[in-house]
Structures are given as C-alpha cells and as structure tokens.
Chain A
C-alpha cells in the first residue's frame, strides 16, 4: 500500500514539474522567457558537471571551456557550413564529449586540487586559443550568425512554427532549452540509478575500495568526464543559438566558475536542487544590481551570497530539500 503511495507521490511531483515547465512562459513576459532560457543553459551544464564532480568526485574548473567547444562547433557549422542552428546541437554535444574524454585521460593521474588547477588553466587558456585559430573561429571577432548565415537561425522572423504550433522566438528558445534540460535530467537520473551511478558513487567515496571491488576506475572516470562534456557541449550549443553570436569573451574562466558554483549551490551528488542552482547563478547578478547600483556593490553582494550559501547550506539546495522532505520519505520508505 505504502509502495503504491510512494510511486503516486513521485508521479505527482514529476507531473507538477512538467506542468510548471509547460506553463511558465505564459505566466511571464516574453523577455523573461528568454532569460529563463539562459538559466536553462546553466542548468544543462550544471547537471553534467554534477555527474562528474558530485558523483565521481573529480573537480573541474574547466567546463566553461567545454561549453566553448560546443558553442563554437555550432557556430562553425552554422556560419561555415550553413547548417540549421538546431540540428547542430547533437554534434556540438558529441564534439565536447570527445574533448571531455580526452581531458579525462590525463585527469586520471591528478586528484583534488591538482585536477582543479589543471582544468582552471585550461579554462583560462581557452579564449587565447580561440583567438589564435582565427581561421576556424573568427579570431577575436568571433562568428556571427546574423552576419553570415541569417537564414539558418530559427526564429529569425520573430515566430517559430513547430508541428503546426506557432510561438514567439523567445518561447521557442525556452521550450527548446528546458525541454532538452529535462530530458538531460531524466537521462542523468537513469544513469545515476543504474550500474554507472553505483560505480560513480563508489569511486567518489573511496577509489581504493572501488578498485578492489572490481570497478574499472579508468573507464568510469573518463566516461564521467565524457558524459559531463556532452552536457556542457549541448549547453554551449544552446548558448550560441540563443545569442546568435560567439566570441572568445563569451567563454572566459568566469563561466567555468559559475557552473561549479551553480552545481555546489544546487547540491552535489543529488539531482533535485540543481534547478535552483541554475536559477541562483543566472539571476543573482541582476538581483545584486537591484539591491544597489553603487560601483562594486553588486560584486560584493554576489560574492557574499555565494560564500553565505556555501557556509550555511553545505549540501546545497539539494541537501536542504532532502532535509525538508525527510519526514515524508522516511514515512514512505520505512516498514512499520
């Protein structure tokens, strides 16, 4: 009886989430839909990073650079090869996934802070690398969809028609981004629940123990890097599609830091709070600016908020949610 109730609660929560997803654009302004689409980009990257850091314990401060790979793959395909922007998303994910895998190999030799430093260096170097290979990347100018391939931009005329439904371009971007985001979350959930998830968590808790239990460390660790790379690539691709332009300064180390902050605030090692992490990272700068526009105040508030959240909520939003719902889950899942 309780088991059926548990499943019902679960389905109800999932249905509520889907309902919220579908309805939100109709409740907020068109402009806010675009903003929310931006938050969705962070969400996807954060889910991916959580798979890596939250579940296998490998710290990466370089996922902004993987987003750059995805973003520039999309841009290059649109601008140079005249692909339709949305069809480039899978390829962008794949490209970033491959780079993620390649990074994962040397990452096997590094741990903790050393890995953080290596990925940090990679993230800092990315803009310079993008500028240097200007043939492909357009150098410091970057690549602009509107200038070079305007007809490949979905929503150029302000409205988009999909399967007979017409929506505004901003709504389309919202649904595209968060739709992919929710699918990505579902996939992550399946991975985490299954064999991969168990292996990942074993690795995070004790590599020595996991190895002696027969877990193939190199395989799972690089796989985690590759997977998180795919997510970052898709996020970067959507970022490019939303902005209709990419240049080296879109992908500085700050982006990498924001993804990590979002993952920690959302809650490492759990999935429910990550949406909040994405919203935190997207909206905090503007909220901070609202509080005070004196020079320096937004930065100060932003930094202080990050520090406070991390000190007060060590488990992030996910940890908080878990604690709030603990009475319910204990009741549902314990035998009397």
Chain B
C-alpha cells in the first residue's frame, strides 16, 4: 500500500504549497508588522501590493529587466507606504480601532481607483522572476520558480528579522510597538517608527505581488485579493501578534490548502478559498491567539 502511494506527487504538491505559502507569508508579515505597532489590520495591504506590481510592470514595459524593476519598485513602495501612513493614518492614530479599519477600507477604494486611473485595462503580464525549467531533486521534478519564491521569501524574512533584532532602528521599532509613551520618553520618535513600519509592510507587499504575478498568464486589479485573504488566514493561524507565527502559519496554510485541494475532490479548486476562511474561523474559535501567540491580550 505504501509503495503504491505517489510520494513524488506529495513532495511536489508540498513544495508548490510552500511556494504559495511563502508569498502569502510576505503579505502576512506585512499585516502583522502593522498590527503590532498600531493594533489595526490594514485591509488595503493587498491593493497596495497590487499597485506596486503595476508600477513594476510599467518599469519593465519601459525597458528595465525584471530584477532591476524589482529593486526600484521595492524602494518606491517603501516610500509609498511611509507616505500613506503620514497622510492618511496619522490623523486617526489615536482614534478607536473601528475608525482606523474604515480608513483602511477607504484606502482599498482609493488605491484601486489609482490603479484603474493610471493604467489602462489592457492585460498585463510580468516576465518570470526565475527560469521556468524544472529541476530534478532526488528524482522528483520541481519548478525553479517555486524554489526561487521560497528562497527569496525566506531570505527577506530573515533580513527583516535581523533588522529588528540587531540594529538600533529595529530596537526602536520594537520599543515603539510595545510601549509608545515610554519610548517617547526615551527619545524614540514613535510617530516615525509607525511610518517606517508601514513602509516596510508596503515593501514586503510589493515583493509578494511581484512574485505572484509572473505565475499568471496575465493579471489585473484583482491580483492580490485572494492573496490578502490567504495572508490573513496565515497570520491568524500563526498569531496576529507574532511575526514568526505569520510566516510559519502561512507556510503551513499553503501546504494544507494545496494538499487538501489536490487530494480531496469535494474541495477541488473552487473551495480552496473557503478552506482558508474556515481556517480563520476555526482558529478564532478554538485559540484566537494562534499557534505562536500568547493568550490574546486585550488592549484597554
């Protein structure tokens, strides 16, 4: 029985799942970054990533290579994220959570509008980030694209982790998130730390978008909507307060959704998203703090 089971298919589907999960992890990490420093989920994170991807497309359209456009877009997205925070979020920094949530929902429309206004509706596609050749590992074929996504994503996560743990800026960012008032007394410009957090989140989103797009024959404004939902599910699974959780949760979710979609016929391809949503609901009902979170502390 064991010998008849297609292990290579399992390995392949697991890697494919990890690859999707890795990209969701970037957006999930962005969401957790902002959540930790402001207590708000940025519902516009996906749309911002989509806009970044459109910018990347324009750069490629004007002659830059994929990777040249990639780095320019990341830099521009960081600035964009800081700008959005300063312009739109700062005025409501001290407002109740629901108000800020509505602002991010309003942002969804605003960013969507900018995307539709600045770019025509013609189909767009991004060139592949990595070669499309398959690669053989232990006799099983994997796509370099999938492996590349996982590598870039994990590399970026480690880079951000290092920033937070080992640099003065990272220390200030963490302090500002833990205790804003006390941090101000230590000289930390908390307001700017929040803005930088938004910038980092926007940059992460941009990478997620630019790696998601090439896998599709063409993409439009709806590019990141499903990704946002999967990222939310991954973040909730791992624990909204935990960056490590966001990444691990998304990777696990990626594998889970893909395996369920592959092996359970009833789910197939249509119900993958509801599976993710069921995960959100399930986690929130059983252990809201997620896998890596401490019991959810109420912000009084």
Instruction: Report A-B touching, CB under 8 Å.
Output: yes
Chain A residue nearest in CB terms to B232? A117
Q: Does A299 contact B116, Cβ atoms closer than 8 Å? A: yes
Band of interface residues on A? 35 or more
Q: Given that A117-B280, A125-B274 are known contacts, is A264 also in contact with B116, CB under 8 Å in the complex?
A: no
**A contact residues around B273 at 8 Å (CB):** 124-125, 128
Query: Shortest CB–CB separation between residue A151 and chain B, in angstroms?
Result: 35
**B contact residues around A300 at 8 Å (CB):** 109-110, 112-114, 117
**A contact residues around B105 at 8 Å (CB):** 257, 260-261, 306
**B contact residues around A128 at 8 Å (CB):** 270-271, 273-274
B40 at the interface (CB under 8 A from A): yes
Q: Does B106 contact A304, Cβ atoms closer than 8 Å? A: yes
**Which label, helix, strand, loop or mixed, suits the secondary structure of the B interface?**
helix
A187 at the interface (CB under 8 A from B): no
Query: Shortest CB–CB separation between residue A167 and chain B, in angstroms?
Result: 37
Q: Does A299 contact B112, Cβ atoms closer than 8 Å? A: yes
Query: Shortest CB–CB separation between residue A295 and chain B, in angstroms?
Result: 5
Q: Which of B67-75, B87-95, B134-142, B147-155 contacts A (4 or more CB under 8 A)?
A: B87-95
**A contact residues around B280 at 8 Å (CB):** 117-118, 121
B186 at the interface (CB under 8 A from A): no
Q: Which of B17-25, B56-64, B202-210, B281-289 contacts A (4 or more CB under 8 A)?
A: B281-289
Partner of A132, one of B39, B236, B271, B299: B271
- The distance in angstroms between the C-alpha atoms of A296 and B229, with both chains bound, is 23
Partner of B288, one of A109, A298, A301: A109
Query: Shortest CB–CB separation between residue A260 and chain B, in angstroms?
Result: 7
Query: Shortest CB–CB separation between residue A310 and chain B, in angstroms?
Result: 5
**A contact residues around B121 at 8 Å (CB):** 295
**A contact residues around B120 at 8 Å (CB):** 295
Q: Does A124 contact B288, Cβ atoms closer than 8 Å? A: no
- The distance in angstroms between the C-alpha atoms of A261 and B236, with both chains bound, is 24
- Interface residue ranges, B against A (CB under 8 Å): 35, 39-41, 88, 91-92, 95, 97-99, 101-103, 105-118, 120-121, 229, 232-233, 236, 240, 270-271, 273-274, 277-278, 280-281, 284-285, 288, 296, 298-299
**Which label, helix, strand, loop or mixed, suits the secondary structure of the A interface?**
helix
**B contact residues around A311 at 8 Å (CB):** 91-92, 103
Q: Does A264 contact B117, Cβ atoms closer than 8 Å? A: no
What 0/1 pattern do residues 42 to 57 of A give for CB contact below 8 A with B? 0000000000010000
Q: Does B106 contact A129, Cβ atoms closer than 8 Å? A: no
Q: Given that A114-B296, A125-B277, A257-B105 are known contacts, is A310 also in contact with B113, CB under 8 Å in the complex?
A: no
A303 at the interface (CB under 8 A from B): yes
**A contact residues around B229 at 8 Å (CB):** 121, 124
25 contacts between A and B (CB under 8 A): A59-B98, A109-B284, A113-B35, A116-B101, A117-B41, A117-B236, A118-B285, A120-B232, A260-B98, A260-B105, A264-B102, A296-B112, A296-B117, A300-B109, A300-B112, A300-B114, A301-B113, A303-B109, A303-B110, A303-B112, A303-B113, A304-B110, A305-B106, A306-B106, A310-B99
Q: Which 3 A-B pairs have the closest CB atoms?
A: A303-B109, A300-B113, A296-B117
